[in-house]
Amino acid sequence: MNRQSILLSLGASLLAASLCAADTAAAASSEQQHKACRGDALHFCKAEIPNREKIIACMKQHLSELSPGCRAMFDENKNQESSDQ
């Protein structure tokens, strides 16, 4: 595995981890989030990897273009944050 592949994988993993809601029982697992969003992160936000905050901001800018599974992770976390307030 070359350095770029490692960085891309690490960045996608950071993205998935950042999507975790505070209440992990109600949120999808990190593995599910990683699987749902890895391809989108690499497609839309490759230049932002490995900066987690920039990846999240980039993904939010492309929300309407994300795959349904990844978009659902953002929607789920948004709903979770709203109910926590």
* Cα R_g (the chain), whole angstroms: 12
> Which of 69, 83, 85 lies closest to 26, judged by CA?
83
pLDDT score recorded for residue 24: 44
Contact 49, 12 (CB under 8 A): yes
The b-or-e profile of 42-59 (16+ CB within 10 A means b, else e) is eebbeebbbebeebbebb
Tell me: pLDDT of 34 over 50: yes
Q: How far is CA 76 from the centre of its chain?
A: 12
Q: What band does 58 get if pLDDT is binned at 50, 70 and 90?
A: very high
Across the chain, what does the average pLDDT equal?
Answer: 74
Whole-model pTM over 0.75: no
